[in-house]
Amino acid sequence: MTSDGQTKILLDESEIPTRWYNIVPDLPEPPPPPLHPGTGQPVGPDDLAPLFPMALIMQEVSTEPYIEIPAEVLDVYKLWRPTPLYRAHRLERALDTPARIYYKYEGVSPAGSHKPNTAVPQAFYNAQEGVQKLTTETGAGQWGTALAFACALYDIECEVWQVRASYDQKPYRKAMIETFGGTIHPSPSVLTEAGRNVLAADSDTPGSLGIAISEAVEVAAQDPKIRYALGSVLNHVLMHQTVIGEEALKQLDKVGDTPDVIIGCTGGGSNFAGLSFPFLREKLAGKISPTIRAVEPEACPTLTKGKYAYDFGDTAGMTPLMKMHTLGRDFVPDPIHAGGLRYHGMSPLLSHIYELGLIEAEALGQTECFEAGVQFARTEGIVPAPEPTHALAATVREAMKAKETGEETVILTALCGHGFLDMAAYDRYFAGEMIDFDYPQAKIEDALSRLPEVPATG
Amino acid sequence: MTSDGQTKILLDESEIPTRWYNIVPDLPEPPPPPLHPGTGQPVGPDDLAPLFPMALIMQEVSTEPYIEIPAEVLDVYKLWRPTPLYRAHRLERALDTPARIYYKYEGVSPAGSHKPNTAVPQAFYNAQEGVQKLTTETGAGQWGTALAFACALYDIECEVWQVRASYDQKPYRKAMIETFGGTIHPSPSVLTEAGRNVLAADSDTPGSLGIAISEAVEVAAQDPKIRYALGSVLNHVLMHQTVIGEEALKQLDKVGDTPDVIIGCTGGGSNFAGLSFPFLREKLAGKISPTIRAVEPEACPTLTKGKYAYDFGDTAGMTPLMKMHTLGRDFVPDPIHAGGLRYHGMSPLLSHIYELGLIEAEALGQTECFEAGVQFARTEGIVPAPEPTHALAATVREAMKAKETGEETVILTALCGHGFLDMAAYDRYFAGEMIDFDYPQAKIEDALSRLPEVPATG
């Protein structure tokens, strides 16, 4: 065994991107607009003002390709950015593959994932506009933790509704959110009308991100000092995450490699978009030609089995209608351990890009994912969160394909978070208690039968 | 709010130290040797051979100031080393102190602490000598996790006895150790005679590191293919950890600062020694003059209240006699949350250095420590493990003293691990259920009344 050459490709603090990248103006056609559910007309900034600060609304609808990152946000990014890009030498050896595997690791952040990349600017802009409290939903808990941390920096209160399945599986998340000064409730809760309605229909529901969003939106809409923050799905959230891909571009450049395949897991889409959009920009400009692949769980196969249609972002139907790949807003996924991937819809921007044929998608079962996660931990020394094990399992598949063909495929993947707070899931895996849920075809068809009607536009 | 200047002081992989530093030859007098409990004679390499591989035994007794780090070990170090040195700008602002606070962060390692720095070379040397299985004890679980990871790299089995108080408080550690391929038992267990004896006397015992060491040593001593690994206390362990201080020296040099005070928490002493010994070398050479301060828990005040005497390293009396600060080998500390600091003794080398007056010590209660930990999390974004909250609380004290005097004190502290797997302790803190245990004076005196007699030397 000899030295492998470079393992971590690092950047200096001065190389943190100073602009977020907005892919919208670079696309061959613009994404369909969100619509007002009452009028069928595109929603304007004023429609969103009760929920979001104007600075974020302007980013949401921006057609500028780049937006400057405020100095105050860059200053906080320095707590964990630039994040390392790793060459997975040991995993490659274990797989005996000619592929070169790189992973961009976002687990070094305060929350342990990519989520603070957008939580910090969201809290910053809200604080600038005098907001006193932010409400939000969280699945696995990464987003709620990130927002609690960001709110602590700007002296804003933070109130989090966590999907009950995850709340019960991951008790340490509650303590993390409280350590950062936030408050947390399991969702559905009796604190909101949306929550009470769901509980009345099914008191044993594991909850869903759609339900938790309804609860957080309901509370924010009632008080002008309270606003709402979303951890994925929206354009501005995806844009904030592009710091991941911008750094990865520079880091691969430093070692002179160009990706053949880019792989990320998708729940609402922000991690995947964060890594891939800057590379997609280069691809659209004809400079590189990677395959870009989204990986989702079989239990919640939004891109691969969902319908591309206008639907609500939440379960109660309080948001604008968004054209996206959806399983139906009242679809409640089986309680898989990747709580961050249990969303009934997909980012409208990413859905549009998928429809344009610019990216691929595949769905995997969770036991294959945990198997890859354990192999990764034993070779690379990082225990991955359940969400990125989906990307790792797809990476292993790609590396084994390279082994068959003998090609030196360059694979870039997103290790969007560590699993320190998800160890109960590994416990179940080792106890042989983890099961793969079938494609929930009947449940999907049932939920899709209730897609909202889009009013005819005036 | 404006930009703060540099937050993370990073080194390149090429700047990982290539040698471990052995402080023994630089001390004004050598530490007293370990003695054979039967003969009262200094133990030789052969006496240790049933437990340790010869390469480590030779490091344990070495009088060379530097030992080369094998290329294979350096190659693994690159998975997380060099670790970042942070300037705590945000904590300084929150404390409104003129002090400049730096923290060396070891939580980026596979186990989440400094422990892999020695686990990897220990597993490597054992593998080289054909060992098939390593046994060990663990307190908080950091060491057991680190050794399980290191054993996975070299295809060695790993069997861990974890102090029951920590085993019950921190269930995720079991899953971590299993993820890395190790097996774990709560200690005392019925698997060993040492464990059965303790259980017979007190079936409700919370356990102790001394008991867990007895169990692991007992199993290793019975089979020549099995050896034992210790996570702290011994000279070679402290030496492996000096990569921390060597890196910190280079990092402070890069920003042109020199520490006035160096603060680390102490359980067995390896984290503290790892950070401070390279600085102590510079101090002994007359180049710098920092105060160097060890911080221990009030519930286990080895340096501040223990006796400097020959005692066993374990509870059952299976190890050589070591001259160290001890609370008595059957002292069972109250079940505080800093499981890594609940050892009845202190590293003999560090005890000797304390007796020489080269370092200071103080003891703190755990609620003050958690208070500092929460403030640190909300400003710096890292939730610390309970152990380093002791160093952080002492750092806050020092920074507040600087505020009173107006001095720009440069403080360097060791953030030896994150608290992601210790969130149950934070939960209790926020629930108001955390208590400070008094100095257990009567329990200490009782245990010290049973110190072993040292046989008159021939």
pLDDT digits (tens, 9 = 90+) for B188-198: 999 999 999 99
Q: Do A427 and B178 touch (CB under 8 A)?
A: yes
Tokens of A240: 């904030």
- pLDDT tens sequence across A323-364: 999 999 999 888 888 888 989 999 999 999 999 999 999 999
Is the pLDDT at A458 greater than 80, yes or no?
A: no
Query: Chain A residues with CB inside 8 Å of B423's CB?
Result: 171-172, 175-176, 179, 421
Work out the mean pLDDT of chain B and round it to a whole number.
Answer: 95
Q: Do A3 and B175 touch (CB under 8 A)?
A: no
- State which amino acid sits at residue B267: G
Q: Among residues B134, B161, B132, B130, which one has the least CA distance to residue B55?
A: B130
**Domain co-membership, B124 together with B144:** yes
Give the DSSP per-residue string, B139-173: SSSHHHHHHHHHHHHTT-EEEEEEEHHHHHH-HHH
Tokens 């082994």 map to which residue?
Answer: A403
**Domain co-membership, B294 together with B244:** yes
Q: How far apart are CA A147 and CA A227, in angstroms?
A: 13
**ipTM here:** 0.94
Sign of CA dihedral A380, A385, A389, A392: negative
Q: How far apart are CA A228 and CA A52, in angstroms?
A: 6
Residues 365-394 of A with CB under 8 A from B: 374, 377-378, 380-383
Which of A10, A179, A430 is nearest residue B178 as measured by Cβ atoms? A430
Q: How far apart are CA B108 and CA A84, in angstroms?
A: 11
Residue B68's alpha-carbon distances to B17, B124, B236, B398, in angstroms, are 9, 14, 13, 36
Least confident of A369-378, A405-414, B121-130, B168-177: B168-177
Tokens 């949306």 map to which residue?
Answer: A194
Q: Do B179 and A13 touch (CB under 8 A)?
A: no
B3 confidence band (pLDDT: 50, 70, 90): very low
Least confident of A129-143, A263-277, B162-176, B308-322: B162-176
Q: How far apart are CA A426 and CA B178, in angstroms?
A: 9
Is the pLDDT at A3 greater than 50, yes or no?
A: no
| Host domain of residue A212 | 42-64+114-234
**Domain co-membership, A165 together with A253:** no
Is the pLDDT at B79 greater than 60, yes or no?
A: yes
Buried b (16+ CB within 10 A) or exposed e, A183-218: ebbbbbbeebebbeebbeeeeebbbbbbbbbbbbbb
- Which of A234, A254, A283 finishes a domain? A234
- For residue B126, being part of any structural domain is answered with yes
**Domain co-membership, A107 together with A203:** no
Cα radius of gyration (chain A): 21
Q: E strand or H helix at B420, and its extent?
A: none
**Domain co-membership, B142 together with B177:** yes
- Which of B192, B215, B234 finishes a domain? B234
Residue B29's alpha-carbon distances to A401, B275, B356, in angstroms, are 62, 21, 9
**Domain co-membership, B136 together with B155:** yes
Q: How far apart are CA B300 and CA B302, in angstroms?
A: 6
Q: Do A382 and B112 touch (CB under 8 A)?
A: no
Is the pLDDT at A457 greater than 90, yes or no?
A: no
Buried b (16+ CB within 10 A) or exposed e, A430-449: eeeebeebeebeebbeebbe
Q: Among residues B246, B306, B316, which one has the least CA distance to residue B274?
A: B246
**Count of A–B CB contacts within 8 Å?**
136
The stretch A365-374 carries a mean pLDDT of: 97
The whole-model pTM stands at: 0.96
Length of chain A: 458
Query: Chain B residues with CB inside 8 Å of A423's CB?
Result: 171-172, 175-176, 179, 421
CATH number of the domain within which A346 lies: 3.40.50.1100
Kindly report the nearest CA distance between residue A153 and chain B, in angstroms. Answer: 7
- For residue B118, being part of any structural domain is answered with yes
Residue B229's alpha-carbon distances to A233, A373, B112, B148, in angstroms, are 49, 27, 19, 11
The stretch A432-444 carries a mean pLDDT of: 88
Amino acid A4: pLDDT: 54
Q: Among residues A316, A335, A334, A314, which one has the least CA distance to residue A324?
A: A314
- For residue B31, being part of any structural domain is answered with no
- pLDDT tens sequence across B17-54: 999 999 999 999 999 999 999 999 999 999 999 999 99
- State which amino acid sits at residue B411: I
Query: Chain A residues with CB inside 8 Å of B418's CB?
Result: 420
Is the pLDDT at A56 greater than 80, yes or no?
A: yes
The stretch B409-413 carries a mean pLDDT of: 98
The stretch A185-211 carries a mean pLDDT of: 95
Tokens 């059965």 map to which residue?
Answer: B196
Is the pLDDT at A187 greater than 50, yes or no?
A: yes
Q: Do B181 and A383 touch (CB under 8 A)?
A: no
Q: Do A13 and B1 touch (CB under 8 A)?
A: no
- For residue A458, being part of any structural domain is answered with no
**Domain co-membership, A147 together with A171:** yes
Percentage of chain B surpassing pLDDT 70?
A: 99
Q: How far apart are CA B144 and CA B176, in angstroms?
A: 9
Percentage of chain A surpassing pLDDT 70?
A: 99
Q: Among residues A457, A451, A322, which one has the least CA distance to residue A39?
A: A457
**Domain co-membership, A359 together with A297:** yes
Residues pairing with A345 in the sheet: A326
Give the DSSP per-residue string, B209-270: HHHHHHHHHHHHHT-TTEEE--SSSSHHHHHHTHHHHHHHHHHHHHTT---SEEEEE-SSSH
- Cβ of residue A225 closer than 8 Å to a chain B Cβ: no
- Give residues with Cβ within 8 angstroms of A405, minimum separation 6: none
Tokens of B457: 């030397």
Amino acid A227: pLDDT: 97
Q: Among residues A245, A123, A129, which one has the least CA distance to residue A180?
A: A123
Residues pairing with B291 in the sheet: B261
Amino acid A339: pLDDT: 84
Q: Do A71 and B2 touch (CB under 8 A)?
A: yes
**Domain co-membership, B203 together with B299:** no
Kindly report the nearest CA distance between residue A6 and chain B, in angstroms. Answer: 7
Is the pLDDT at B1 greater than 50, yes or no?
A: no
The stretch A196-225 carries a mean pLDDT of: 94
Q: Do B377 and A180 touch (CB under 8 A)?
A: yes
The separation between the first and the last C-alpha atoms of chain B, rounded to the nearest angstrom, is 71
Amino acid B321: pLDDT: 96
A2 confidence band (pLDDT: 50, 70, 90): very low
- Cβ of residue B174 closer than 8 Å to a chain A Cβ: yes
- pLDDT tens sequence across B421-440: 999 999 999 999 998 887 78
- Which of B234, B262, B297 finishes a domain? B234
Residues 140-169 of B with CB under 8 A from A: 149, 152-153
Length of chain B: 458
Phi, psi of B98 (to 5 degrees): -80, -5
Q: Do A3 and B74 touch (CB under 8 A)?
A: yes
Helices (H), B260-339: 270-284, 302-305
Q: Do A8 and B13 touch (CB under 8 A)?
A: yes
Closest residue in chain B to residue A11, using alpha carbons only: B10
Amino acid B2: pLDDT: 38
- State which amino acid sits at residue A325: H
Residues pairing with A20 in the sheet: A67
| Number of domains chain A contains | 2
**Domain co-membership, A99 together with A244:** yes
- For residue B22, being part of any structural domain is answered with no
Q: How far apart are CA B376 and CA B392, in angstroms?
A: 8
Sign of CA dihedral B318, B220, B417, A139: negative
Which of A4, A109, A171 is nearest residue B75 as measured by Cβ atoms? A4
The two beta strands, B133-138 and B100-105, are unpaired
- For residue B296, being part of any structural domain is answered with yes
Amino acid B4: pLDDT: 54
Closest residue in chain B to residue A81, using alpha carbons only: B8
**Domain co-membership, B90 together with B56:** no
Query: Chain B residues with CB inside 8 Å of A80's CB?
Result: 381
**Domain co-membership, A407 together with A286:** yes
Q: How far apart are CA A13 and CA A29, in angstroms?
A: 36
Is the pLDDT at B339 greater than 90, yes or no?
A: no
